[in-house]
Chains A and B, each alone.
Chain A
């Protein structure tokens, strides 16, 4: 065992190497590792955010489904109601129209009946007069009994 200048030289070399590692080697690696850790953390956070987004989107879509169903239901029932209303209205209109037609027909019929009665009465009167004239021709002067005949005609009317 002999100590000599080698000891000091080696100490210097050691110091230089430590300095090199402290100043040059370590920071590079530390930076890379820290960056990677940050990247990983960011990725995890992004994944978590994506998961939450997905969850909320699912929730929202379910809500929208419920809403849409409700809307369809509403529309359907509204349409039903409207349809029933239209049918009712149509029924009402048809009924009034029918009533009106019936009333008009009745009126016409009555008119016809009245006209027929009139014609019939006219003919009956004419027949009666004719009958009476035939009877009276022999013994009644038509001219003398004209007043009577006119009166009879009037009565028959």
Chain B
């Protein structure tokens, strides 16, 4: 938002909430949020690439600070997995998957810290006027994660119990194997799957989206004058510091739920 132009709050927010859409085909579904995809993939490359770069030269001797940081991160994730997952070798899939989730979601959430108008200004210079820098404030990104986790838990449920075992469980747990209870069991399980996936995605999306909106409101305030700038600065600082907690906490919760859902899929009832 360049100074001098008349500032309309709803326009301002609307502007920052507009995705960079690229139509790929006919219909509403066939559009791509280029900003979400590009930012998230870039962040994934940066985060996981950094870790890869560090561990590729990892020494088994005394680690340097960079390696110690990465090891700390990985041990933290591994500890959580170790505490929850008791269904085989966690190194084969679930621990690295949890690490991916944690690193990626943290970085995507952390995009909230970038001053949104600077990002918009910089991208505006190269002709990109609509760009939302926070991928996890896009439901497509969070649901992509939670639906992937749903598919993984379905896969592991069937892999652990066999297809027959899984179907049996869908109909016979948790209320009992009486044929009269089959519909209730099935309904219960379906609701469980749907609600898990919904809450998994919406929790992350809601927290980050709300954080983003609050930043927008603070920056709007900052544009109203000296007093607004003053309070906008201090409240913005406070919110940003508090938001560090939210960013990490939400990434942590998302990772934990991912581990829990995949672990639950392995359990027999």
Partner-B contacts on A (CB < 8 A): 1-11, 13-15, 17-18, 20-22, 24-26, 28-36, 38-39
Task: Annotate B113-146 by CB proximity to A: 1 below 8 A, 0 otherwise.
Answer: 0000000000000000000000100111101110
Q: Which residue of the partner chain, among B30, B70, B93, B144, contacts A14 with CB atoms under 8 Å?
A: B144
Residues on A with beta carbons closer than 8 Å to the beta carbon of B97: 18, 21-22
Known: A17-B44, A17-B104, A18-B100. A7 touches B91 (CB 8 A): no
> Nearest Cβ distance between residue B265 and chain A, in whole angstroms?
16
Q: Which residue of the partner chain, among B96, B100, B140, contacts A3 with CB atoms under 8 Å?
A: B140
> Nearest Cβ distance between residue B54 and chain A, in whole angstroms?
9
Q: Which residue of the partner chain, among A7, A14, A28, contacts B58 with CB atoms under 8 Å?
A: A28
Sample of 11 A–B contacts (CB below 8 Å): A4-B30, A6-B141, A7-B144, A10-B37, A10-B141, A13-B37, A28-B56, A29-B58, A31-B58, A32-B55, A36-B61
Whether B91 contacts A4 by the Cβ 8 Å rule is: no
Q: A15: nearest residue on chain B (CB-CB)?
A: B148
> Nearest Cβ distance between residue A142 and chain B, in whole angstroms?
143
A9-B32, A25-B51, A26-B91 known; 9 new pairs, CB 8 Å cut-off, are A4-B31, A5-B24, A7-B144, A10-B145, A13-B41, A20-B100, A21-B51, A26-B99, A29-B74
Residues on B with beta carbons closer than 8 Å to the beta carbon of A25: 48, 51-52, 55, 96, 99
Whether a CB of chain A sits under 8 angstroms from the CB of B60 is yes
Partner-A contacts on B (CB < 8 A): 24, 28-33, 36-37, 40-41, 44, 48, 51-52, 55-56, 58-61, 70-71, 74, 91-93, 95-97, 99-100, 104, 135, 138-141, 143-145, 147-148
Whole-angstrom distance between the alpha carbons of A26 and B51 in the complex?
9
Top 7 A-B pairs, shortest CB-CB distance: A10-B144, A35-B60, A6-B140, A32-B58, A26-B96, A21-B96, A36-B60
Chain A's interface: helix, strand, loop or mixed, by majority?
helix
Whole-angstrom distance between the alpha carbons of A143 and B93 in the complex?
165
Residues on B with beta carbons closer than 8 Å to the beta carbon of A22: 92-93, 96-97
Q: B22: nearest residue on chain A (CB-CB)?
A: A5
Residues on B with beta carbons closer than 8 Å to the beta carbon of A11: 144, 147-148
Whole-angstrom distance between the alpha carbons of A26 and B31 in the complex?
35
Q: B144: nearest residue on chain A (CB-CB)?
A: A10
Q: A39: nearest residue on chain B (CB-CB)?
A: B60
> Nearest Cβ distance between residue A17 and chain B, in whole angstroms?
5
Whole-angstrom distance between the alpha carbons of A58 and B139 in the complex?
73
Whole-angstrom distance between the alpha carbons of A14 and B48 in the complex?
12
Whether A3 contacts B95 by the Cβ 8 Å rule is: no
Whole-angstrom distance between the alpha carbons of A3 and B58 in the complex?
41
Whole-angstrom distance between the alpha carbons of A75 and B113 in the complex?
91
> Nearest Cβ distance between residue A52 and chain B, in whole angstroms?
26
Whole-angstrom distance between the alpha carbons of A18 and B28 in the complex?
29
Known: A10-B145, A21-B100, A22-B97. A29 touches B37 (CB 8 A): no
> Nearest Cβ distance between residue B113 and chain A, in whole angstroms?
21
> Nearest Cβ distance between residue B114 and chain A, in whole angstroms?
20
Known: A11-B144, A18-B96, A25-B51. A4 touches B32 (CB 8 A): yes
